[in-house]
Structure 1
Amino acid sequence: MPRSAYERSKSVETIAWQEHPLARSLALRLLQESSGESRQAIGQALLDVLDDAAGLPPCKLTVADRPQRHRKREGRLEMKTYGYYRCDWDAGEARRGSIRIYNLTAIRQQILSPKVFLETLLHEWVHHYDFAGLRLDRSPHTSGFFARIRAVAETLGVGFVAPPKREASIGPLRAVDDVVPPGPSRLRPGGTDPPTWIRDQIAALFGRKEP
């Protein structure tokens, strides 16, 4: 019986790729940048190198100079989104991957710290690797997922930006799935309504459920 996406994600702790010296220098340069324009240019160059090294289709980066999407409850910050990954399905494969990162913090609207920006970029790229490289139909936040982030960060010489070993996103704020699934027409030929887990993800990201 085929293993589930969760089981496969949990079992893989490394990235299958060919190391590229340029990737390390680009990652270190990102730690020196703060403007959205510079982060987008250097971040895109880093993604291009990572995609090439791992044999993945291109992934487009957008750095938005706007506050992180967030939600409050009783005046307190309950949830915020650093960024997200999305892709389309084409002939059973992930294509047209894209990453969006918000360059300003949710409440104070300060520039995102270099460490957090780089960790977010690597986090979202591992989602790209899961869909386009491991060919998972979902990219859950398993212990293997976070191990893959650490593996990439350590290879790039920036292991200190990676999160500590954990099973899923843990912190004072509610965890939010940062993957926007492909449209229902691609997942379910014939236009059948998407399953509940997709609708819940969209609601978590955008504050509403798809009709």
Structure 2
Amino acid sequence: MARTRRADYHRSNRIRTLPLNDPEEAARAAQRLFGARDALSRRIFGSELLAVLAAQTGIAVPEVVVPDEHQPHRRSGGRIVYSLQGDYRRRAPSPHDPRVARAGKPLGRIRVPNRTPARGDIVRPTAFLNTLLHEFCHHHDAEALGLLRSFHTGGFYARLRHLRDQIEAGAGDGLEETAAGRSLRDGGSPLPLLERLWSIIRAL
């Protein structure tokens, strides 16, 4: 591992927390996102949530892209062996203002597809929200920690858990999938109420 990569890895592994100034505000923004189903609404409410998180952690707001597409994936033997739930990219800084990319675009760009890889179902709110927070942690690594490379270290996952736990605590009884969560485009039915936030990953 090159020296810079090694330094980034160890710095990432040392830092275990990602504190928020107002978890309840973040939870309210997460609740609005949690109620969204269609790609446009998820992009709008996802951008609002990340604006809250960025403001509370003192970093620039990343761009959020939510294509109404299947998650990129690979198959082997007729089975899906890999799927990309989301990704984070950094644009090159503008030569005129290194705080932004060319044309004033944000340096950070988060992309989270809205549909599952095989059947093209809408990604469940818990999974979508967790992926968005995961990619935000990569953005935070670049903006706040100054890491050139954001590794999946033990510290990275500790920061992600800390971020999730603060939002969950700020939500009190947990986030709900209400009737407002139906697709704005297809008028779909709401999912069951009171699904606990991130329950699908509690076993990690």
Decide which of 113, 116, 130 is 2:124's aligned counterpart.
Answer: 113
Name the aligned partner's letter for residue 119 of structure 1: N
Q: What is the alpha-carbon root mean square deviation over aligned residues?
A: 2.4
In structure 2, what is the Cα distance between the partners aligned to 1:47 and 1:13? 20
CA apart distance, 1:93: 7.1
- Deviating 4+ runs (over 3 angstroms): 89-95, 162-166
Question: Is 1:161 aligned to residue 198 of structure 2?
Answer: yes
Q: Equivalent residue for 1:99?
A: 110
1:143-165: CA deviation from partner (whole Å, max 9, x where unpaired): 11111111111111268417447
Q: Equivalent residue for 2:139?
A: 128
Question: Is 1:83 aligned to residue 86 of structure 2?
Answer: yes
Contact 2:29 2:52 in 1 (8 A): no
1:29-87: CA deviation from partner (whole Å, max 9, x where unpaired): 22222111111111100011111111111201011100000011121111100110011
Q: Equivalent residue for 2:65?
A: 62
Question: Is 1:48 aligned to residue 51 of structure 2?
Answer: yes
Unaligned runs of 5+ in 2: 101-105, 169-173, 175-195
Aligned identity (percent) is 34
The more displaced of 41-50 and 26-35 is 26-35
Partner SS state of residue 98, structure 1:
strand
Aligned length in residues: 166
In structure 2, what is the Cα distance between the partners aligned to 1:20 and 1:119? 16
In structure 2, what is the Cα distance between the partners aligned to 1:16 and 1:65? 32
User: Taking structure 1 as reference, are residues 112 and 151 closer, same or farther at Cα in structure 2, changes over 3 Å only?
Assistant: same
Partner SS state of residue 41, structure 2:
helix
Contact 1:17 1:55 in 2 (8 A): no
Partner SS state of residue 35, structure 2:
coil
Partner SS state of residue 68, structure 1:
coil
Query: 1:177-192 residue pairs with structure 2 within 5 A?
Result: none
Name the aligned partner's letter for residue 128 of structure 2: F
Q: Equivalent residue for 2:75?
A: 72
CA apart distance, 1:18: 2.3
Unaligned runs of 5+ in 1: 167-211
Structure of greater relative contact order (alpha carbons < 8 Å, 6+ residues apart)? 2
When the two structures are superposed, what TM-score results if normalisation uses the length of structure 1?
0.71
Q: Greater share of strand residues, 1 or 2?
A: 1
